[in-house]
Amino acid sequence: MAVRLGLFLGWLSAQPAIAWIQESETSSSISPHSFSVAIRDCVSDSDIRRGNGLHCNLIKRGVSLDLFACNILLNMYVKSELLCDASKLFDEMPHRNTISFVTLIQGFAQSFRYFEAVDLFSRLQREGHELNPFVFTTILKLLVSMECADFGRAIHTCIIKLGQESNAYVGTALLDAYSVSGMVDSAEKVFEAIAGKDMVSWTGMIGCYAENEFFEESFELLSKMRMVGFKPNNFTFVSLFKAAIGLEAINCGKSIHGCVLKSRYELDPYVSISLLDLYTKSEDIHEARKIFEEMPKKDVIPWSFMIARYSQSDLSKEAIELFCQMRQAFVVPNQFTLASVLQACATLECLDLGRQIHCYVVKIGLLSDVFVSNALIDVYAKCRLLECSMELFMRSPNRNDVTWNTMIVGNVNLKKGDVALTLFLEMLAHSEKTTEVTYSSALRACASLSALDPGSQIHSLVIKTIFDRDIVVANALIDMYAKCGNIQNARLVFDMMTERDEVSWNAMISGYSMHGLSVEALSIFEMMKESACKLNKLTFVGILSACSNTGLVDKGEEYFTSMVSDYGIVPCMEHYTCMVWLLGRSGKLDRAMKLIEEIPYEPSIMVWRALLGASKIGYIPKYDVVLLDVEDEEKERLLWLESPSYAVYCRFRCGAHTVQGSIFQIFSFLHPDSHIVFQPGRLELQ
């Protein structure tokens, strides 16, 4: 009769089973098995509230449940994340077995209550319950989340004592724990000890190699795996793509792509994302887009990944366009999607879209997310709205180092070095984590203010935190010392660098140029030519400035010619400005004028200023050059008068409210029949 009743209840749906239990008049008529079936039905139907009510009903009736029924009920509370109820039930259970402990350990682990889970495991051992493979795999998965290497070694010792190291499930879980801790040697020993290696074991070890940058070993193990008859699965392919990217072996990655197509894993979401990663990091964004178009795109992950890669590849316009397509496809963006598209808005200084996304973020309650709030702060800073950035910064409940760095960089870029330094000091006072971005930005702020003392103090902090070895920070130190007048310390930092890039050399050349030390600048330039670093536009701006500051006309012309002929660098406006200044200061106005006429685009204000400043006189008869001082620099653009026959440039200086009585500074190429009429407060061309 009991067997038939059990079979009947196993077939019975949730509602009739629960109703039958609730309508039973006596507790003796309710079997633990019938209760277990009803509870399992509640779990499968996600009807936790009814299951809880059923439990309360049985408590009122004084029904005592056996161990099996208690474990089912415990599992219900764990799956519904009611850990308080689960813990209370666990403590009240008259008997517990391994399953009881493992169920609650899993609940604590899923809720990130790792230490309580570890305490429960210790209690399991103290009470003498069986330590089987199921227990070890559960606790080892917990260790993967905790990244606790010492505890992992202790568990490993226990596994060896109980002779479980050859078990494939236990060995693979232990391998994963060592992989996360970066202990590849220990993972290899565990892998070798596994008796019957299955596909999961092989894939786990290949993944361990790939995650810990043992890329070549990943491919070697793949060959061994195939020799024993195993074929790679989707997770194997993901690890192999990571290894190919790490080796920068793009052709190898493409070969793996071919294997993926043969194995028909191309539509697997994990493999597809890895393919996108491969092609975007190899700068083949078009192939990545083709793969993206072929992917099933109901999920937000591929959209977010592609938008992020566009933003990181300086394809901000494409990132925004893809975001618009995503919204048209009714895919809901997550915090990572929004952070990536906001990064694109910041790059393009697209304030309108940034504000629209800001409104959307407020609407869906994601403003407290640190990734989104940091991206919004960056948008407003890049769009020169520091007040809005500061307001978001002050209201942000979850600031991290990126939040502080974004505000500091924003103020430095907008020439608010004093505010940037204040933020830097506040960041230190809050004991926030400082990075190379923090220190390099603070040093840039000191350079903009010519603040040598604060810069020297930051240098001391940099040395204490060992960031002086970072090339970006070292470059910022060179620039700071040079702009603050201490070129000796700048050279000292430069000489102590173990690695230099183009920025390092350019900063040193520019520093010497600013100090009028052309011989030293030329010496550094010659050293750079012998190094592995590539000369760029800024290199020649620095060296031409050095030549112009000390009147080295022949050298300057030689470098200018070499820049074009030997290095294939197209001269920019800064190069022309340096050459005009060099020729003008040497009295070679004819050659300076000829060079200006050879500029393939409209000369900038700086070119005219260079010629006027180099002329040293107010009027140059041969070229109808007159010099004028006036007040408002914003009006410079308005006073450019252009036509096929003439162009007039005026520069305003502070202190002169009218043209009359001031020092005139005008440069003009005039039509033969034209002349300039000066009247108080106005300029006419007739």
Contact 626, 664 (CB under 8 A): yes
pLDDT for position 673: 44
DSSP string, 225-250: HHHTT----HHHHHHHHHHHHHTT-H
Interhelix angle 32-44/2-11, nearest 10 degrees: 10
- 223 burial level (CB within 10 Å; 0-12, 13-18, 19+): exposed
pLDDT for position 45: 52
Contact 479, 507 (CB under 8 A): yes
Phi, psi for residue 46 in degrees, rounded to 5: 55, 30
How many angstroms separate the CA atoms of 524 and 514, rounded?
Answer: 14
pLDDT for position 637: 37
Task: Report helix, strand or coil for 570.
Answer: coil
Contact 547, 518 (CB under 8 A): yes
pLDDT for position 126: 84
- 163 burial level (CB within 10 Å; 0-12, 13-18, 19+): exposed
pLDDT for position 216: 94
pLDDT for position 398: 87
What residues in the chain have per-residue pLDDT under 50? 1-29, 617-686
- 48 burial level (CB within 10 Å; 0-12, 13-18, 19+): middle
pLDDT for position 674: 42
pLDDT for position 667: 37
Which residues are CB-contacts of 426 (< 8 A; sequence separation ≥ 6)? none
Average pLDDT of the chain is 81
**Beta strands per DSSP E along 78-148:** none
Closest CA to 513 of 474, 451, 561, 555: 555
